[in-house]
Structure 1
Amino acid sequence: MNLVAYADAVGPWMMLLAVAFAAVFLSLLVRFVIRKLLGGGDRVLAQLLVRYIGRPAIWFLPLLAVSAVQPLLDLPPAQIELLERVVSLLFIVLVTWLCANQFFVLEGYVAHRNPVDVRDNLRARKMHTQVRVIRQIAVVVVVLLGVAIGLLSFEPVRQVGAALLAGAGVAGLIIGLAAQRTLGLILSGLQIAITQPIRLDDVLIAEGEWGKVEEITITYVVLRIWDQRRLILPCSYFLETPFQNWTRVTSELLGTVFLYLDHAVPIDAVRAELTRILQDEPLWDGRVGIVQVTEAQAWCMELRVLISAGDAPSLWDLRCNVRERLITWAAEHYPEHLARMRASLDQQPVRSDTDTGKP
């Protein structure tokens, strides 16, 4: 091939690349201008739009430019057809990418407007749970639709699809039975998002473990155990198995501390000391702080201290602190009245054998 023929063959492609690069540069410039314009308003929304919408949007202008100059190119029909097929497929990919990223923008903006690092975060956790699960399902649906549209854009694939549909009765039944478990898990995840038996950051007792809901997907839930282990449970577990949800309505909780002291310990003194301790405790929420005698045994009495806190971790620490300080107070002020075992020893007369004189 001589230089002239090579230039004639490469020239249209070089012009196409030049137009594409110019369009990319123009897209980056437009993105920069939009970021500056949105920076004066809601910065979080602007950052989300630039992050999730700006990336796929950058490539739209180059594809439009390529489509515009395509009729002007002097290319063989086979190359023109290939170029049209590639541009069409890239458009489908970009539209799918853009539609999926819209749900990430929605999730990020809802998370920003509903922070969970506040004391009463019930509504925020509800919103986070719903939006996250809906986003996961929506992205899967959008990607599947994009793949289906992309495959159906090829004529051979459409012909194969029609042939498969003609004999898909038995195959569909087999696939349906195989996917029944997976579809059941996905529907369970959607049901959790709608009915919300659990939410993100809920405190649960499941499988005998205490932990917080760290992540909710469309098929499983991650429970962060107090010792930093992770318990993975399917979504169907929370629809079919009883479990405890300590923060279903509110994060406020009541807790107990049991003390075993002698019957002679004055109860009013214990109540006064509890009041003094709670007033000095920042973890106490001021709602409940009482002392009750719940049982009296032969060797001691059982005191139940009922206290309240704003959330489960604070309640645990408060219970430990109150227990330690009450035991220390009882040992300092009433050491003789700590719980102890009692025994009454009766002295029996010593009997001796009259014959031998031995006892």
Structure 2
Amino acid sequence: MRQHFINALDMFRSWFGWLPPPVGSLLMLAVVGIVAFLASNFASDLILRIPDQGGTALIRKVVASLRRPVRLMIVIVAVFSALPAAYGLSYDTFYALQKTLIFLFILTLGVAAILAFRVATEAYLGRMMSREVDDDILMRAQQTQIRVLRRMMEILGGIITVSAALMSFETVRQYGVSLFASAGAASLIVGLSARGLLTNLIAGVQIAITQPIRMEDLIIINGDWAWVEEITATYVVLRVWDWRRHIVPISYFLENQFENWTHNSAAIIGVVFLTLDYQAPMDRIRAYLREIIATCPLWDGKVFDVQVADSDAHGIRVRIIASARTALQSWDLRCDIREKIITRLREECPEALPRGRIAMVPPAPGEAAWPGDEAISPPVARPPPGSYLGPRPV
């Protein structure tokens, strides 16, 4: 079959016999490349016109993503196959053109493999994200592993692709052998110059395996609530509640202490503190709070309690705990409880509101209270009028 293809190209090449042999050969190769490009473009358009039904959606997505590299690969293969029919080219030109086509084919093949891997992982992640689950630890764990390891594989695949493409040239291959012979010194130099990059890359692998953080985890960093929005091979993007972003090196999460509120579950217990007077009737206040919590849709119905947690000279401190499904719902639940109980106390139990007290007692038994009713504080001893004589001479 290959011989028939070469014979057909010879016949086609004879049409350009009136041109110089190198020009005719290059023109023949250009025509073969154009025909291969048009044929691949027609085939991809035909596949993309298939109705989006059932499993064809993934096929359409793969074809749309790999359309350009596959089309280029077909052109390269077609031109490379037509090289034996290019009789008019010199040996140096033929050799350079052959090596260039091999180099481009390896690069295109590596890019196509990386894109195919990305499409497959995106399809798997999309299927997982379509599940309507409020708190799925397994889904977030797999999402984190896939995203981190995918970036590592893309980096590794890019390095291997470029290395393999460059090794197709003899001079580069000889340089690689000499570099491999001195791998100890080269490794030391590369390690010292790219220490930060290598540290973050290794930390990324550890994050993917041990998973101290996952995608959409809620963590506390620098006093801010932040959600893990993106995990790359070298850094992590954290989304703060006011839409700010923290860009943090991924090694930070292995070298520093931080809080992760959703590591095992998104459910959390919120705390509300109230400062009340000693006259506060705790039985009535507990009854108020039970009525309030029963009407709060954000309460998950698991944990609720009211306790007198502390007391001092000014009043008592009441602690209210209530559980919610997520940290955001816990924040809203606490705000709702605080607002409703303050309104209820102000309207139905004002004696429970905190107040300041001042008690004046006599210095000794049988004496009047000091300072008495005529003054709140001792009078200030001021100089008599006209006694100011100006600054003293130096």
TM-score, structure 2 normalization: 0.80
- Quote the offset at 1:46 in angstroms: 3.1
The correspondence of residues 2-81 of structure 1 with structure 2, limited to 5 A, is: 6=19, 8-37=21-50, 39-42=52-55, 45-76=58-89, 77-81=91-95
Alignment partners' CA distance in 2, 1:38 and 1:46: 11
The correspondence of residues 85-234 of structure 1 with structure 2, limited to 5 A, is: 85-115=99-129, 118-234=133-249
Distance change >3 Å, CA 237–CA 173, structure 1 → 2:
same
Q: Could you say which structure has the larger radius of gyration?
A: 2
- Quote the offset at 1:157 in angstroms: 1.3
- Which deviates further from its counterpart, 273-282 or 86-95? 273-282
AA partner of residue 286 (structure 2): R
- Quote the offset at 1:38 in angstroms: 7.6
- Is 2:334 the partner of 1:319? yes
- Is 2:356 the partner of 1:341? yes
- Quote the offset at 1:166 in angstroms: 4.2
For each residue in 1:85-124, what CA deviation from the matched residue of structure 2 results, as whole angstroms up to 9, or x when unmatched?
Answer: 1211111011110111122113211221211874113222
AA partner of residue 39 (structure 1): D
Alignment partners' CA distance in 1, 2:73 and 2:185: 42
SS at match of 1:59: helix
Alignment partners' CA distance in 2, 1:287 and 1:114: 28
For each residue in 1:237-288, what CA deviation from the matched residue of structure 2 results, as whole angstroms up to 9, or x when unmatched?
Answer: 2122221110000101111011112233332332333233333333222222
AA partner of residue 256 (structure 2): T
- Which deviates further from its counterpart, 334-343 or 300-309? 334-343
RMSD: 2.5
- Quote the offset at 1:350 in angstroms: 5.3
SS at match of 2:88: coil
Unaligned runs of 5+ in 1: 352-359
- Quote the offset at 1:39 in angstroms: 2.6
Alignment partners' CA distance in 1, 2:334 and 2:212: 28
2:314 aligned to 299, 319, 325, which one?
299
SS at match of 2:82: helix
- Quote the offset at 1:150 in angstroms: 1.2
Alignment partners' CA distance in 1, 2:207 and 2:180: 34
SS at match of 1:114: helix
Contact 1:137-1:218 within 8 A present in 2 as well: yes
AA partner of residue 112 (structure 1): G
Contact 1:52-1:104 within 8 A present in 2 as well: no
- Quote the offset at 1:294 in angstroms: 1.5
User: Counterpart of 2:96?
Assistant: 82
AA partner of residue 217 (structure 1): T
Alignment partners' CA distance in 1, 2:275 and 2:241: 28
The size of the alignment, in residue pairs, is 349
SS at match of 1:250: coil
Alignment partners' CA distance in 1, 2:226 and 2:86: 64
TM-score, structure 1 normalization: 0.88
Alignment partners' CA distance in 2, 1:240 and 1:20: 54
Contact 1:44-1:112 within 8 A present in 2 as well: no
Alignment partners' CA distance in 2, 1:167 and 1:297: 74
Identity %: 38
- Quote the offset at 1:126 in angstroms: 0.8
Unaligned runs of 5+ in 2: 1-15, 370-394
AA partner of residue 196 (structure 1): Q
Contact 2:237-2:248 within 8 A present in 1 as well: yes
AA partner of residue 104 (structure 1): R
Contact 1:48-1:108 within 8 A present in 2 as well: no
